[in-house]
């Protein structure tokens, strides 16, 4: 059993972090929240220690309200954390918009006891604060083949589509300055990918979940997080979407990724990048 009953989850945007929360909510006595805090409520001028204290206090308050009132705050759709927070429908500008909103989740029927495991997920915010968060609560990170991640970034109506990551830049002035000096959107996205992976490489030794693992076997999530409960939902195989990519665009991403990033390469060696690209070509 994990020594802490409050865990933090972070990861690459569009790497399955919300799906991981959805899976975790199918474990008994586990409650996983999708981006329940608003980064704009944090004040970088107060310092990183104050931001970490704000996260810890938020976790404590939500543990109490979950038990006492049967409600918690989370981004949700139709009263639950969905598998995917982005709409399948294309919106203005040909991009897919977010399809979740911040609100209360009713957890009266979750049968939580005082030792329930609370998982809170934020991508850029927790990644930027990783060194300090590590000393307060266990943090786990999610990665995914960067070719698939980059493809998704260019399909969604999120700041990362334009090569910016506001919550990360808020607490990492060096990242903000670096991105401000890069005019090319794709190059900014590549630097953001490397920034995430560098943070995980330096701060999350052994605490990494791979999308490619838990999308096939949701039981691997509980094993990695050392949960003492068992996944209790029927696993639905997810369809291979390699055929849905724009091949010409993917070739550009592939060539750019092959020559970029040391931390990226640590998590996904060139052979894994090649394998995915070959699969995309075959499916095209």
Rounded average pLDDT over 104-126: 93
Neighbouring CB atoms inside 10 A of 97's CB total 14
Q: Assess if residue 61 is contained within a domain.
A: yes
Task: Please give the share of the chain, as a percent, with pLDDT higher than 70.
Answer: 96
Is the pLDDT assigned to residue 243 strictly greater than 70? no
The mean pLDDT of the chain is: 93
* Domain containing residue 153: CATH number: 3.40.50
The predicted pLDDT at position 1 comes to 39
- The pLDDT score that the predictor gives to residue 2 is 47
Q: Work out how many domains the chain is built from and give that number.
A: 1
Say how far apart CA 225 and CA 138 lie, in whole Å.
9
Q: State the pLDDT at residue 239.
A: 54
Is residue 31 domain-resident?
A: yes
Compute φ and ψ for 165, nearest 5 degrees. -140, 80
What is the model's pLDDT at position 229?
Answer: 82
pLDDT over 90 (residue 234): no
Flag whether pLDDT at 58 surpasses 90: yes
Is residue 260 a contact partner of residue 190, using CB atoms and an 8 Å limit?
A: yes
Place 241 in a pLDDT band, splitting at 50, 70 and 90: low
Span 69-90, mean pLDDT? 95
Tell whether the model's pLDDT for residue 3 goes beyond 60: no
In a domain, 216, yes or no: yes
- β-partners of residue 212 are none
State yes or no: pLDDT of 96 exceeds 70.
yes
In a domain, 105, yes or no: yes
Question: Is 1 a domain residue?
Answer: no
User: How far is 234 from 271, CA to CA, in rounded Å?
Assistant: 33
What per-residue confidence (pLDDT) applies to 93?
Answer: 86
- Could you tell me the pLDDT band of residue 284, with boundaries at 50, 70 and 90? confident
pLDDT at 67 over 90: yes
Kindly indicate the confidence band of residue 240, based on its pLDDT and cuts at 50, 70 and 90. low
Determine what percent of the chain is predicted with pLDDT higher than 90: 88
Q: Classify residue 185 by its DSSP letter.
A: H
By residue range, what is the domain housing residue 192? 6-231+240-283
C-alpha neighbours within 13 Å on the C-beta side of residue 84: 11
226 Cα distance to chain centroid: 19
* Residue 13 within any structural domain of the chain: yes
Whether the pLDDT of residue 126 is over 90: the answer is: yes
Question: Mean per-residue pLDDT for 3-23?
Answer: 93
- pLDDT tens digits along 150-196: 999 999 999 999 999 999 999 999 999 999 999 999 999 999 999 99
pLDDT at 244 over 80: no
């Amino acid at each position: 059993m994990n020594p802490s009953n409050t865990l933090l989850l972070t990861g690459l945007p569009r790497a399955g972090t919300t799906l991981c929360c959805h899976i975790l909510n199918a474990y008994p006595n586990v409650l996983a929240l999708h981006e329940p805090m608003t980064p704009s409520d944090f004040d970088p001028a107060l310092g990183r220690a104050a931001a970490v204290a704000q996260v810890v206090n938020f976790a404590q308050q939500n543990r109490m309200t979950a038990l006492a009132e049967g409600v918690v705050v989370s981004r949700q759709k139709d009263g639950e954390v969905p598998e995917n927070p982005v709409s399948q429908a294309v919106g203005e500008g040909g991009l897919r918009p977010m399809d979740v909103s911040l609100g209360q989740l009713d957890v009266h029927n979750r049968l939580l006891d005082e030792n329930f495991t609370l998982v809170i997920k934020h991508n850029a915010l927790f990644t930027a604060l990783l060194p300090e968060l590590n000393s307060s609560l266990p943090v786990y990170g999610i990665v995914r083949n960067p070719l698939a991640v980059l493809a998704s970034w260019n399909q969604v109506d999120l700041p990362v589509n334009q090569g910016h990551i506001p919550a990360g830049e808020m607490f990492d002035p060096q990242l903000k300055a670096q991105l401000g000096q890069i005019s090319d959107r794709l190059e900014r996205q590549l630097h953001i990918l490397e920034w995430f992976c560098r943070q995980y490489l330096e701060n999350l030794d052994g605490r990494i979940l791979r999308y490619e693992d838990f999308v096939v076997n949701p039981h691997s999530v509980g094993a990695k997080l050392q949960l003492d409960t068992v996944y209790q939902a029927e696993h639905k195989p997810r369809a291979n979407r390699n055929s849905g990519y724009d091949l010409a665009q993917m070739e550009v991403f592939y060539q750019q990724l092959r020559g970029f990033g040391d931390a990226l390469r640590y998590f996904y060696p060139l052979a894994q990048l090649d394998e995915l690209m070959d699969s995309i070509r075959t499916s095209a």
